[in-house]
Amino acid sequence: MTVKHVIDEGLLRRFDIPGPRYTSYPTADRFVEAFGERDYIQALQQRRAGSLALPLSVYVHIPFCASLCYYCACNKIVTRHHERAAEYLRYLGLELELQTRHLGRGQRVSQLHLGGGTPTFFSDDELSDLMALLRRHFELVPGGEYSIEIDPRTVTPQRLAHLQRLGFNRLSFGVQDFDPMVQRAVHRIQPAEQVFALVQAARELGFESLNVDLIYGLPRQTPESLRRTLEQVAQLRPDRLALYAYAHLPARFKPQRRIVAAELPSAADKLGMLALALDMLSAAGYDYIGMDHFALPDDALAVAKRQGRLHRNFQGYSTQPDCDLVALGVSAIGRIGATYSQNAKTLEDYYDALDQGRLPIVRGLALTRDDLLRRSVIMAIMCHGLVDYESIGLAYLVDFRHYFARELEQLRELQQHGLVRLHETHLEVTPTGWYLVRAIAMVFDRYLQVDQDRARFSKII
């Protein structure tokens, strides 16, 4: 069965609306400045006092990049002054000291992710120092997932070997597209041969899982050029694959103003690219995990989805249990207990807070009972494609069908379009609905239902 038989262009167009990616609920745009350092410290202390705390997840944001990619919407600082890394590393050490002062040293960590920016902007020695810092403050447990984002232009096989010695067991390669014309249009030149050599080296070193990031809808990209890239990816055969839709929002992200809008593919071509990619990745043996993620059947992510153990956090889909996340670095977003928090978004503000001996928390949110309830429903949709009314009702002491009567009524339209099935005891996402799962989750987003200004979000497709 081809993808065209599963999902049609008219349906994609109808539901291709702006909406959140739901790496959290409520989403980060709902954070408030009234939530500050004192609230965060209280959450840390409550975790410390708990006796059954699960292992932590830790995220470290490294914002520096040596060159600018025009499509980028990340919080980054483009610089060729590598001495700035040493200063940033010192402040990460100060933040770690403050975090563990309230959290307690030696907390167990089962998931670590270094993102950016370009984490490999740090030199080998600086990465060694960072990992030593983390190990002084946390216990990285055996069998955990320890990953780092890789810009292929900044590493060699020797650097990959160093990363493995430091304890990283998962790598994510930023590829985006192999076509030279597309690479020039987005200012990111990296020959396919370079990526193939690095992936081969990583396999020989024994990394547990290799991920490749791709983007469709880039300037100068065509269905035919994307086909060639996907053929190369099928040969590369990463364990996991992320296929993101490019969201052109130049008013929000200044680097995107360098992209020539006339060179962007048409809406019809972009939809065609998605259908093509879904078809080709399926034919290449990849399981569809959800939204924009794919994995080979024996990868831990695919196994977790089949077994109903899939979770979702600020880094996307995960096999790790739903757990607290300590976020380090400028702009990093964390979750402790029933709270979310975000660090200062500029280096100046981040450094200034730490110089004053304060955690650099500038905004966040304490979740209400309704937030927690809706989060459970949305994450069940995003991860499992199934919501059991009774289990949610028992967990939150509500009558699900009564509490969500309006939402269930809204879902009837989606049911008519074949995206969901509504049963007496549960709702389930259909195979077609998985491709538009964000639209289904949005029905349960209380904030979004009363806020029609959705332009700040990327479109679903």
Asked if 334 and 359 count as a contact pair (C-beta separation under 8 A), the reply is no
Beta strand spans in 195-315 (E): 209-216, 240-245, 287-290, 293-295, 311-313
Q: Is 59 labelled a binding residue? A: yes
How far is residue 423 from each of residues 389, 409, 420, 440, measured CA to CA in Å?
Answer: 10, 13, 10, 15
**Domain residues of the chain, as ranges?**
1-22+368-456, 23-325
146 known ligand binder = no
Q: Is 299 annotated as a binding residue?
A: no
Q: Are 275 and 7 in contact (CB under 8 A)?
A: yes
pLDDT of residue 10: 77
Residue 167 assigned to a binding site: no
CA 381 to centroid of chain Cα atoms: 17
Rounded Cα distance between 296 and 60, Å, is: 27
Name the architecture of domain 23-325.
Alpha-Beta Horseshoe (3.80)
Instruction: Estimate to the nearest angstrom the gap between the alpha carbon of 383 and the chain centroid.
Output: 13
Query: Is 91 a known ligand-binding residue?
Result: no
Question: What's the longest Cα–Cα distance across the chain?
Answer: 62
65 is in an annotated binding site: yes
Tens of pLDDT, residue by residue, the chain (461 residues):
333 435 566 777 787 777 888 888 999 999 999 999 999 999 999 999 886 778 999 999 999 998 899 998 888 899 988 899 999 999 999 999 999 999 999 999 999 999 988 999 999 999 999 999 999 999 999 999 999 999 999 999 999 999 999 999 999 999 999 999 999 999 999 999 999 999 999 999 999 999 999 999 999 999 999 999 999 999 999 999 999 989 888 988 899 999 999 999 988 888 889 889 989 999 999 999 988 899 999 999 999 999 988 888 887 888 877 789 999 999 999 999 999 999 999 999 999 999 999 999 999 999 999 999 999 999 999 999 999 999 999 999 999 999 999 999 999 999 999 999 999 999 999 988 888 889 999 999 999 877 655 555 666 66
CATH number belonging to the domain at 1-22+368-456, selected among 2.60.120.380, 3.40.50.2300, 1.10.10.920, 1.10.1050.10? 1.10.10.920
Residue 263's pLDDT is 96
* Contact criterion met (CB below 8 Å) for 434 and 290: yes
Three-class HEC string of 417-459: CCCEEECCCEEEECCCHHHHHHHHHHCCCHHHHCCCCCCCCCE
Is 71 marked as a binding-site residue?
Answer: yes
- Whether 202 and 147 have beta carbons less than 8 Å apart is answered as no
Two tokens, residue 188? 């990111």
Tell me whether residue 247 is annotated as binding.
yes
Q: Was 383 annotated as part of a binding site?
A: no
pTM of the model: 0.91
Residue 447 marked in a binding site: no
Check whether 72 is labelled as a binding-site residue: yes
Tell me the HSE value of 436 on the side-chain side, using a 13 A CA sphere.
27
The pLDDT score that the predictor gives to residue 33 is 96
| Segments of 202-270 assigned E as strands | 209-216, 240-245
Token pair belonging to 296: 């080979």
Q: Where are the alpha helices (DSSP H) in 123-167?
A: 124-137, 157-165
Got the DSSP string for 46-114?
HHHH-SSPPPEEEEEEE-EESS--TT--S--EE-S-THHHHHHHHHHHHHHHHHHHHH-TTEEEEEEEE
Query: Does the annotation flag 144 for ligand binding?
Result: no
pLDDT at residue 1 in the model: 33
Q: How far apart are CA 162 and CA 207, in angstroms?
A: 12
333 labelled as ligand-binding? yes
